[in-house]
Homo-oligomer: A and B are copies of this chain.
Amino acid sequence: MLLKVKSLKFLAGRPVAIIHQKVSQKLDVHSGERVAIRKKKDHQEIISIVDIATGILKEDEIVVSYEIFKKLRLREDSLVDIEPALKPLSTNFILKKLQGKKLSYTEIFSIMKDIYKNSLTETEIAYFISGMYVYGMNDNETIALTNAMVKIGKILDLNKKMIIDKHSIGGIAGNRTTPIVIAICAATGLVMPKTSSRAITSAAGTADVIETLCNVEFSLEEIKKIVNKNNACLVWGGSLGLAPTDDKIIQVERIMGIDPQAQLIASILAKKVSVGATHFLLDIPFGKGAKVNFGQAKKLAKKFHKISTLLGLKIMIALTDGNQPIGKGIGPVLEMRDILAVLVREKSRPLDLEAKAIVLAGLIFELAGKTKKGHGKRLASYILNSGQALEKFKEIIKAQHGNFGDLNEKLRLANFKKIIIAEEHGKIEEMNNKKINFVARVAGCPADKRAGIYLHKQVGDFVKKNDIIATIYSENKRKLNYAEKIFKDSKAIVIN
């Protein structure tokens, strides 16, 4: 049926079209069902969910969400042909998984392809995730999932013999080791095309932090140039189209707060394979307030090791202490201040962040064969102390259209602050990552880059009554008060 496009630039988060009730009756499609929308002019097609309306549009009109408008390059009054879209074949494979059966590569690829094409709804993806969550996936399925994710996305083709990537399993507040590690390693000539995420539920992602000083959004071609010149980059991976189905799956997982292991592994490894990584360092923080405890961390490490090896990826895994935040600042600007403090060797730099960065960089040196086993840390310390890491970091920031002028303004903190003092004397027993991240979110992170929390103490420190333990920053007084209240009520920091 031919319909005229009416623009109504709403972003629905997925392709959504609104059609007239009479049209829906004629096509026998109901609200929430699928239609194929084909542009008359060039036969480009997209699968969309329909909503049904009566008031706003005429029978021969169709209102499309911005996702459709953009993908089909429509204009006001463009003509499109619509018809009911068949249920994709891949729903059969989702059902198969939900029945506890194993899926083949072809079947998993079909599911990934349909997720990518938006042919599967969030609800169908939820059924798939449930199947993975309940039954798990064996090695073959996990590898198939990884390969399918890679196959469907774009590839960063650097044409180098050795490409190194690193990843930290999230959940730890602060923990901004990546920029330091990349600067140290790239300074020695190692190639590290680092793509990072923005914060989803935490106070900041590496991309949010780097963005306080320079751009993080580049095309694959631009990234190639940056890496070819500087050995490394620190960019946002979100819009590059590397293993893109992963993002959609994670979106649906977040709804239930679950993260099936196979999906976690495939999701991380697919991004690495997509940038052409040959060597990979994985940091798994464990402990109270981390995503996993020690036992789980060991199991996860084993599984990662097996799958990576089967994929032909050389992997090294560090199990690190995830009991408390790493670094003093939580929030984009506060974390960038910590990074610079380490790189310029400030006296008051966060030593826990520095120590962890050195450990990780050292392991990369050993993984890459730069040093013998056990000697990586020494080389990392040397590169950091000698100022070479700082120089490399500056080069990267410059290549990403940033500079180091007027740092005071760029890294200015939010206008309002609340100082949290110890209400009794004692030993700090817990600093809860989740709660601290949440307080920083309430204060305005990550959208408000200058907001966040500065931690004056660490677990194990003794405090006297009225000692300052943390400072909360926000650009908004109401948010600040609310953040302070939550900080106290939730017992984000426990003194005993």
- List chain A positions with a Cβ less than 8 A from chain B: 7-13, 16, 18, 21, 25, 28, 30-32, 51-56, 65, 91, 94-95, 98, 100, 121-127, 129-131, 133-135, 251-252, 255-258, 441, 447
- Inter-chain contact B55/A7, CB cutoff 8 Å: yes
A9 and B94 alpha carbons, distance in the complex (Å):
35
A255 touching B124 in the complex, CB below 8 Å, given contacts A10-B53, A51-B16, A131-B130: yes
- Inter-chain contact B256/A127, CB cutoff 8 Å: yes
A134 and B65 alpha carbons, distance in the complex (Å):
35
Residue of B nearest to A257 (CB): B95
- Min Cβ gap A253→B in Å is 10
Residue of B nearest to A8 (CB): B56
- Inter-chain contact B30/A13, CB cutoff 8 Å: yes
Enumerate the 5 nearest inter-chain pairs by beta-carbon distance, A residue then B residue, closest first. A13-B31, A130-B130, A9-B55, A10-B53, A126-B126
List the B side residues contacting A125 at CB < 8 Å: 123
Contact for A252 among B18, B123, B131, B251, CB less than 8 A: B123
Contact for A53 among B8, B127, B129, CB less than 8 A: B8
A447 touching B28 in the complex, CB below 8 Å, given contacts A123-B123, A255-B121: yes
- Min Cβ gap A30→B in Å is 7
- Min Cβ gap A324→B in Å is 25
A9 and B63 alpha carbons, distance in the complex (Å):
13
- Min Cβ gap A118→B in Å is 14
A292 and B11 alpha carbons, distance in the complex (Å):
44
- Inter-chain contact A55/B134, CB cutoff 8 Å: no
- Min Cβ gap A129→B in Å is 8
